[in-house]
Structure 1
C-alpha cells in the first residue's frame, strides 16, 4: 500500500479533487492523507463537506491581507514540519494555486515525488492569469508525473521538454464533479435555486474575481448594469469573498431590479444555477470548462485563456472587458436563444466524466500497481496557430 498525501487549499481544488480523494480512499492500494493549507477558509471546508471529506491536517495559513510571499512561506513552513512526520510515498497537487506551488516546492525539498493533476495548461503570458500561469510552469519543473486534462495540455508540456512517458492525458476531473453534481438529488439550501426554476426571464450567471481584472471590475459592472436594463433578463452574481471585488460590484449594481448580488453558493447549488442559466459570463477558470460542458453559451471576461479548446468550437467566446463587445455578444445570444439552444454548443473537449478513474489508474501505474491508462482524447487538436487565434479578442 502506498501512502499518498493530497494537498489542497482552495475551493476550486476541493471541487476538482473531491471525487479523486474519495476514489483513492476506496482503493485498497492507497493510504490517503488529506492536508488542507486553509488558503481558502470557510469556502474550502464547506466544499469538501459536500463530498463528505474532512482533512486529516489543517495548516490554517489564511490571514487577512496576506501577500503571495507570505502565503507561500506559511505553507512551506507548515509542510516542512508535517511531511517528515507523515513520510508519504508521493504527494499530489492540483492546478495552479499558491498551495499548488508551495506544496510542490515542499515535496521537492523533502525528495518526495510530486504528482501534478491538471498539468500543462498554458496561456502563454506569465501575467495572465497572475500568478497562476507562473505557478503551473514552475510546478512542471518539479513534478514526476504530469496528469494533463487534454491533448493540447500534453503538447504544451512536451514542447517544454517534459518527457512524454511522464505524461498521462486524463480529461479534467471538474467534468466528473459537475456531472455528479447536476445529477444529484438534494434539497437546495438557497431559495434562489428554486426561485429561478419558475422565472420566465433569461438568466445570466455572472462572476468576476481575477487579480488581474480588479482594475476593470467597475467597467465590467457598468456593462452588466446596462445589460440588466432589458426587461427579459435576470442577472445572478455570486460575489467573491474578496472585499476588492465585492465593493466594486456593490457600488455599481446594488439595488437594481434585475440583478441579484448574492453570497457565494455552495457547490451543488451553484451547479444547479449553471444548469438553469441561459448564458454564463465569467472570468472563472471553472466556468470556462463547466459552461461549455453543460452546453451553455459562455462569454469569457478575459483577453486570453489557458483553456482554449471550447473557443475553437464556439462554445466559449473571449470577450475581454470591452463593454461594447460584451453587450453585443450577450444581445446576440439572448435575441437568438432558441437557435443557440439547438446548435452544437455543448462540448466534451474537457472530459467525458471518467477523468477520476484515469487519475487513480495513472497514480497506480506510476507505482507499478496497475496497467497503463488509456488516455483521454477529445477530438480537438491544438496547433500553435490555433492557440494564437483563440487567444485574440
Structure 2
C-alpha cells in the first residue's frame, strides 16, 4: 500500500457551506477506502448532522470545540484561539509516531485559516480545496479575500477549480498545483436531484439568500436590500431564506417585521441543502451573495443575480448570472419585466466522474 493510501486525511470543517463542498470528496475517499476523519470547528450550532446524513457520510467525526452558533464578529474572535488549540491538539494526536497526515481545508473561512496554520505547524501536509481563487482586491470580499491569501502561503497541495486559479498559484506560490477540472459543488448538486426539478412558468417566484458581511453589517446597504425585496414582492412572490446572522441583523435593525408585513414575502429559516437547491431550481430567479450559491446555480442553469460588487468566481457569468451592477434597468425592473428568462441555461453538471473523484485520485497518486 502506498504512503498516500495509508495517510490519515483530516477534513477541517467549520461551516455548512464547507461541509457541502467537501462531502463529495469525503464520500469518494470512503469509496476508495482511505482513512478519513471530519474535524468540526464548531462555528454553527444549527445541526451539521443533517448534512452528514443527507450525503451518507460514514467517517468518524471529532469536535475541536463545542458547537455553538457564532454569527457575530465578537463571538468569532472569542472562538478563534479556542478553535486553533482544539484543531492543533487533534492533528498532533493523529501525527504521533510519524504517521503521515493530510490536513484538508476548504475555501476562505476562519476555519480554513485555523486548519492550514495548525496543519503546517504540526508537520502535516496542508491540502487546500478551491485554491487559487482571488477577486484581485484585498478587502473585497472582506474578510474572505484576506483569509484566502494567507492560506495560500500555508498550502502544500492546491486543488484549483479552473485555469485562472491554477495560473495564480503557479505564479505566486510554492504549492504543488493540481487542476481539479471544476468545483466539487457540482458533485454535491448532482447528489440532490435538483437538476430534475421543473420550473412552472405560470407560477414564477424569486428566491433570496443574503449573508455576506458587506450586505448585512452595513446599515444603509441592509436597508436598501430590504426595500429592494419589498419592491420585487409587488410583482413576484419572494422566498427569503434567512441565514442565522441575517435574521439577527434584521431583528437588530427592526427590519424583520417590515418584511413579515409584506404580503408577497415569505421568510423561512435556513433550509436543508437539498431542500434549498430544489426550491432554487424551480425559481424564476435567485438573488444571492453566496459564492457557493453562484456555483450551484451555474450548475443548474438557474437565472441568478449576484448581489455583490465583485466576485472571485467566474461560474455562470455571461450565461445564467449577472452581477448586480450589470443588471439593465436595475434589479426590480429587470424582474418585473420578466427579463430574467434571458438568463436561463441548460444544467451544466459534468457527465461521468466529477472533480471529487479526480481530487481523490490525485491524493492517492501524489503521496
Name the TM-score class by shorter chain: 0.7 to 0.9
Does residue 1:132 correspond to 2:135, yes or no? no
* Structure 2, unpaired ranges of 5+: 1-5
Q: 1:75 to 1:299 in 2, by over 3 A?
A: same
Matches within 5 A, 1:23-34: 23-28=28-33, 30-34=34-38
Corresponding residue for 2:307? 301
Which of the residues 177, 183, 198 maps onto 1:166? 177
Which of the residues 147, 150, 158 maps onto 1:146? 158
Deviation at 1:51, TM superposition (A): 1.4
Does residue 1:258 correspond to 2:264, yes or no? yes
Q: 1:255 to 1:39 in 2, by over 3 A?
A: same
Corresponding residue for 2:208? 206
Which of the residues 45, 51, 59 maps onto 1:41? 45
Q: 1:108 to 1:324 in 2, by over 3 A?
A: same
Q: Deviations 1:256-313 (Å, cap 9, x if unpaired)?
A: 22211011111111111111111011101111111122111110000100103422x2
Deviation at 1:11, TM superposition (A): 0.5
Corresponding residue for 1:80? 88
SS in 2 for 1:252: helix
Take 2:147 and 2:164, find their aligned partners in 1: how far apart are those partners?
A: 19
Q: Which region of structure 1 is more displaced relative to structure 2, 152-161 or 18-27? A: 152-161
Corresponding residue for 2:19? 14
Take 1:293 and 1:184, find their aligned partners in 2: how far apart are those partners?
A: 8
Q: Deviations 1:21-51 (Å, cap 9, x if unpaired)?
A: 11112213x2111111111222423222211
Does residue 1:71 correspond to 2:84, yes or no? no
Q: 1:292 to 1:63 in 2, by over 3 A?
A: closer
Contact persistence 2:128–2:158 (CA under 8 A): yes
SS in 2 for 1:17: helix
Deviation at 1:320, TM superposition (A): 4.8
SS in 1 for 2:308: coil
Take 2:343 and 2:154, find their aligned partners in 1: how far apart are those partners?
A: 43
Deviation at 1:61, TM superposition (A): 5.3
Deviation at 1:365, TM superposition (A): 1.8
Does residue 1:328 correspond to 2:336, yes or no? no
Q: Deviations 1:194-224 (Å, cap 9, x if unpaired)?
A: xx98794311111111112122122111111
Does residue 1:289 correspond to 2:295, yes or no? yes
Which of the residues 100, 106, 120 maps onto 2:118? 106
Take 1:226 and 1:323, find their aligned partners in 2: how far apart are those partners?
A: 16
Take 2:225 and 2:104, find their aligned partners in 1: how far apart are those partners?
A: 36
Corresponding residue for 2:357? 357
Does residue 1:314 correspond to 2:319, yes or no? yes
Take 2:151 and 2:343, find their aligned partners in 1: how far apart are those partners?
A: 39
Corresponding residue for 1:58? 63
Corresponding residue for 1:178? 189
Take 2:228 and 2:177, find their aligned partners in 1: how far apart are those partners?
A: 45
Take 2:140 and 2:334, find their aligned partners in 1: how far apart are those partners?
A: 23
Does residue 1:222 correspond to 2:227, yes or no? yes
Take 2:283 and 2:32, find their aligned partners in 1: how far apart are those partners?
A: 37
SS in 2 for 1:356: helix
Contact persistence 1:301–1:321 (CA under 8 A): no
Normalising by structure 2, what TM-score? Answer: 0.86
Contact persistence 1:300–1:318 (CA under 8 A): yes
Corresponding residue for 1:373? none
Contact persistence 1:220–1:321 (CA under 8 A): no
